[in-house]
Amino acid sequence: MKIYKAYAKVNIFLKITGKRENYHEIISRFMKVNSLYDELSFVSKEDVGAKANEFKIIGDFACTTEQNTIYKAYFALKNRTHSESLEKLMQTHAIKVTKNIPAFAGLGGGSSDAATYLKMCNEVLDLGLSLNELATIGLEVGADVPFFIYGYDSANVSGIGEVVEEFKEESLDIETYTPKVAISTPKVYKIYRDDFYNPIDGFEVQRLKETKSIEILNTMSPTEANDLFEPALQAYRELKQHYKSGYHFSGSGSSFFRVKNHE
């Protein structure tokens, strides 16, 4: 059975632009990490001894099946398409995931898995959904899912994650480092809102959207580039011990990254 790659991402920059109800609106540059990915495939339930009437995910996950983004993606897809062939597929097959992207790390592993699963189903079952339609379904699962649906190497992501605009630039060879600190994104955003809230204006948004990623990394400190770094440090004081000079902070953490072989 074909193996599909679910790539990680880093946030070259992440700035808050405002609020929308309980969400924060952002402008961020997402960049795909070509060297880090989970591997997904469909496997026959007969081959793995799984029951026909249960949704089965095989993989090293810290969450329950019901909490898994792939499971949520299945229900979002089923509700949108009412596809009998989709139900049949998941009655006869399990989804096998070889996890390489750390969880709770700001690298988008769960979102990438969900997006990849949606694309797998669309391809295998000939559902005929466009990338835009898949992205809309994916948004029900998580704010970062649309980026992974489109599969861009680099993109400006805004709104709450639903606006994804490809950014044409050279792909960077990204190296990630993830300390064993499991970070809660909602907790970090709450501290940001309570203690650090300072949205940037439209002029700064436009400047960032037009600036190449390598230039951002060369000219902005981790704190300047990512509005969530200081709130994360406040919430998880042990993070400071893991910070290394020359690294930037991805998402709400806990991963740090840098460009390999770059001074």
Q: What is the pLDDT of residues 153-186, one digit of tens each?
A: 999 999 988 899 999 999 999 999 999 998 999 9
Q: Which of 16, 61, 64, 62 is nearest to 38 (CA)?
A: 61
Joined tokens for residue 179: 């300390």
CA distance 14 to 12: 7
In eight-state DSSP terms, residue 172 is P
CA distance 12 to 97: 27
Q: Amino acid letter at 151?
A: G
Q: What is the pLDDT of residue 13?
A: 98
Is the distance from CB of 28 to CB of 121 less than 8 angstroms? Answer: no
Q: What is the pLDDT of residue 142?
A: 93
Q: What is the pLDDT of residue 155?
A: 98
Q: Residue 233: pLDDT above 60? A: yes
pLDDT more than 90, % of the chain: 88
Q: What is the pLDDT of residue 20?
A: 85
Cβ-Cβ contacts under 8 Å for 118 (sequence gap 6 or more): 73, 77, 134, 137, 138, 145, 149
| Residues found in the chain | 263
What is 190-256 written as a DSSP string? HHIIIII-----HHHHHHHHHS-HHHHHHHS-HHHHBTTHHHHHHH-TTHHHH--TT-EE-TTSS-E
Q: What is the pLDDT of residue 36?
A: 98
Q: Point out the residues that are catalytic.
A: 9, 144
Average pLDDT, the chain: 95
CA distance 95 to 220: 41
Q: What is the pLDDT of residue 203?
A: 97
Between these two residues, 227 and 47, which has the higher pLDDT value?
227
What's phi and psi for 12, nearest 5 deg? -60, -45
Q: What is the pLDDT of residue 226?
A: 98
Q: Which of 96, 104, 101, 98 is nearest to 45 (CA)?
A: 96
Cβ-Cβ contacts under 8 Å for 213 (sequence gap 6 or more): 12, 29, 31, 154, 167, 169, 172
Q: What is the pLDDT of residue 262?
A: 59
Question: Residue 29: which pLDDT band, with cuts at 50, 70 and 90?
Answer: very high
Question: Residue 48: which pLDDT band, with cuts at 50, 70 and 90?
Answer: confident
HEC string for 7-75: EEEEEEEEEEEEEECCEEEEEEEEEEEEEEEEEEEEEEHHHHCCCCCCCCEECCCCCCCCCCHHHHHHH
Q: What is the pLDDT of residue 50?
A: 85
Q: Give the tens place of pLDDT for each residue, 63-115.
A: 899 999 999 999 999 999 999 999 999 999 999 999 999 988 999 999 999 99
Q: What is the pLDDT of residue 130?
A: 98
Q: How many CB atoms lie within 10 A of CB 221?
A: 9
Joined tokens for residue 72: 């949520």
